[in-house]
Structure 1
Amino acid sequence: MTDTIAFNGRTLCATPLELGEGPTFDAATGTAWWFNIIGRELHELHLESGRKTVHPLPFMGSVLAVIDGGRQLIASDQGLFIRETATGTLSAYASIEDKPGNRSNDGRTHPSGSLWIGTMGRSAEAKSGAIYHVARGTVTRIFADMTIPNSICFSPDGATGYFVDTDLNHIMRVPLDAATGLPNGEAVLFADESGSPGGVDGSVCDAEGLIWNARWGEGAIDVYQPDGVKIHRFAVPATQSSCPAFIGPAADRLLVTTAFQGMDGAARKADPNAGQTFELGIAVKGRFDAAYLL
């Protein structure tokens, strides 16, 4: 285990969220977006001014992808929706699956402009979920029997995908068709974290191919080389760190969402920053998520 590097960052938003998740950054507007999944909220933060807006949602959203200057794609427990950025108007785009007890979870756009989105049972029922590939409205199930799909991210060239079932903590690597984001080979073990504490949660892959993973239950961001070797651990001042995102005009900073899901009063008192959103306070060589292509 690598030594933990102390937190030297700052709080971006002190509002505690039950399940802060799905952060992304729109470089064109300088805006960070993330969700409170359980609270049915979309959070918007203009990074330079600090202007914060919370948008109520009629569903449990978990992933946002920019489409263009006026539209976003949102994945939710009710399917995929196009959101008008200026007005918040939502229109149905595509169904993900036919299990009404499931919700969307982790996801990310591939460099080709397609989307990977994971689903799971609302109470994390065993093997209830899956990972889907969405391209121009066509939805294809690519991995089945998932309990808590997470850690979806892609190498800079789009030729490799990563994912995990947090219930197992086996980070997987799969070869992809870089032009489509579809698997063209078998998934193999990338890093076995099954014997380590905490859960492998959301991840991003930087411009050098390093994977930055939020470790749920450990208050940490772990960094893996492309060969699966863990080289760094950075502390996050909230135990349930959930997902990172590269932010800033040069994608050289890291935002981290957290959660207080499942905590009773005593646990929240012991973890006073739980659910807040942070900037890690280090320089990174990040890159922005691709826009989703309609």
Structure 2
Amino acid sequence: MVMPRIFDTRACELGEGALWHPLRQQFFWFDILGRKLLSRSGHLPGVWHFDRMASAAGWLDAERLLLATETGLAILDLPSGRLTNHWTFPSADAALRSNDGRADRRHGFWFSTMGKRAQPGAGAIYRYFQGEVRQLFNGLTIPNSICFSPEGEHAYFSDTARHIVWRQALDADGWPIGRQEVFLDLTAEALNPDGAVVDSAGGLWCAHWGAGAVMRYGPDARRTHTFPTGAAHVSCPAFGRRDLRCLLLTTAREGLSDPDPVQGMTYLLNAPIRGLPEPRVIL
């Protein structure tokens, strides 16, 4: 069995938001609780520190990322490290923070919020598209697994606390139509779906918090692959590199009473199926 290998030894308290930037040919990921963005280009590590929690990003161009943060959306200028507010939540709530997020196939950006103490039902999912932000779903506890089918006709999302991944039909502009349907009910296996990404064959790769693995499910929801890691909490995958066959996996130390050194490190897996390019976000 192919096993993930350690890509970056800097341990994250809560690694999340893995992203491959196609123009820079560079992986990025967040340590949410550490309030920083991490990266590695060749053997050179990079880090950007923030004054707030940030958790997910979409790429705008070669030098800018759109970030989901606890106060709203912000634009990060990578060369200078300057963070500029782009959209702020209308009513500030210090009990909430951002969580999962990903660009959709129509160049919008989906992002989620949740309680800083995972308060039941406090979470929601939003979409930014052509300058507009709409709340799409609410009443979630830990909204995760935001990703999109290859042609963009469906979105996926989960509530980790409920062990469920849903599939949602989308219209031609990428907005939800009709009601979501259960794609995976993982209650019986006590699996906790965290971040997810879709490959070129329409399979969903889902990181499972607490299970120490990333698992692939085909478009028919049948599990096809399981790849264990050395870390207990696997949190978010992202395809990258030139052939899009490398899968970056973030992990976390959060909640572990006596974590060994590999917990929270970032891993790289040679995937048997090619991924999809990460779409650009258009402001």
Q: Normalised by the size of structure 2, how large is the TM-score?
A: 0.96
CA distance in 1, matches of 2:64, 2:196: 24
CA distance in 2, matches of 1:19, 1:288: 25
Q: Per-residue CA shift, 1:72-131, capped at 9, x if unaligned?
A: 101110110011121111111012453331100011110101011110000000000100
Aligned match of 1:200: 193
Q: Per-residue CA shift, 1:29-64, capped at 9, x if unaligned?
A: 111000000000100111xx2211111111111001
Aligned match of 1:154: 148
Q: Normalised by the size of structure 1, how large is the TM-score?
A: 0.93
**For structure 1, which segment, 35-44 or 69-78, has the greater mean C-alpha deviation from structure 2 after superposition?**
69-78
Inter-CA distance 159–8: structure 2 relative to 1 (3 Å threshold): same
The correspondence of residues 239-250 of structure 1 with structure 2, limited to 5 A, is 239-250=232-243
**For structure 1, which segment, 49-58 or 149-158, has the greater mean C-alpha deviation from structure 2 after superposition?**
49-58
Deviation at 1:180, TM superposition (A): 2.1
Q: What letter is aligned with 1:13?
A: D
Q: Alignment partner for residue 286 of structure 1, among 263, 269, 275?
A: 275
CA distance in 1, matches of 2:89, 2:246: 32
Could you say what secondary structure the match of 2:30 adopts? strand
Deviation at 1:197, TM superposition (A): 2.7
Q: What letter is aligned with 1:282?
A: A
The correspondence of residues 100-249 of structure 1 with structure 2, limited to 5 A, is 100-177=94-171, 179-249=172-242
Conserved in 1, the CA contact under 8 Å of 2:200 and 2:273? no
Show structure 2 runs of 5+ residues with no match.
Answer: none
Q: Per-residue CA shift, 1:197-250, capped at 9, x if unaligned?
A: 331000000111000000110111111111111121111110100000001012
Q: Alignment partner for residue 44 of structure 2, among 44, 51, 57?
A: 51
Could you say what secondary structure the match of 2:60 adopts? strand
Aligned match of 2:20: 25
Q: Per-residue CA shift, 1:232-284, capped at 9, x if unaligned?
A: 1111110100000001012111010000001223xx14xx4110000023343
CA distance in 2, matches of 1:54, 1:106: 20
Identity of aligned residues (%): 35
1:273 aligns with 2:265: no
Conserved in 2, the CA contact under 8 Å of 1:254 and 1:284? no
What is the Cα-based RMSD across aligned positions, in Å?
A: 1.2
Could you say what secondary structure the match of 2:162 adopts? coil
Q: What letter is aligned with 1:133?
A: R
CA distance in 2, matches of 1:214, 1:53: 24
**For structure 1, which segment, 65-74 or 209-218, has the greater mean C-alpha deviation from structure 2 after superposition?**
65-74
CA distance in 2, matches of 1:97, 1:148: 21
Conserved in 1, the CA contact under 8 Å of 2:3 and 2:229? no
1:10 aligns with 2:5: yes
Conserved in 2, the CA contact under 8 Å of 1:108 and 1:152? yes
Conserved in 2, the CA contact under 8 Å of 1:150 and 1:166? yes
Q: Per-residue CA shift, 1:144-183, capped at 9, x if unaligned?
A: 1010000010001000010000110111001001x32210
CA distance in 2, matches of 1:84, 1:24: 16
CA distance in 1, matches of 2:204, 2:272: 15
Inter-CA distance 259–195: structure 2 relative to 1 (3 Å threshold): same
Inter-CA distance 93–68: structure 2 relative to 1 (3 Å threshold): same
Conserved in 2, the CA contact under 8 Å of 1:253 and 1:284? no
Conserved in 2, the CA contact under 8 Å of 1:254 and 1:282? yes
Could you say what secondary structure the match of 1:167 adopts? helix
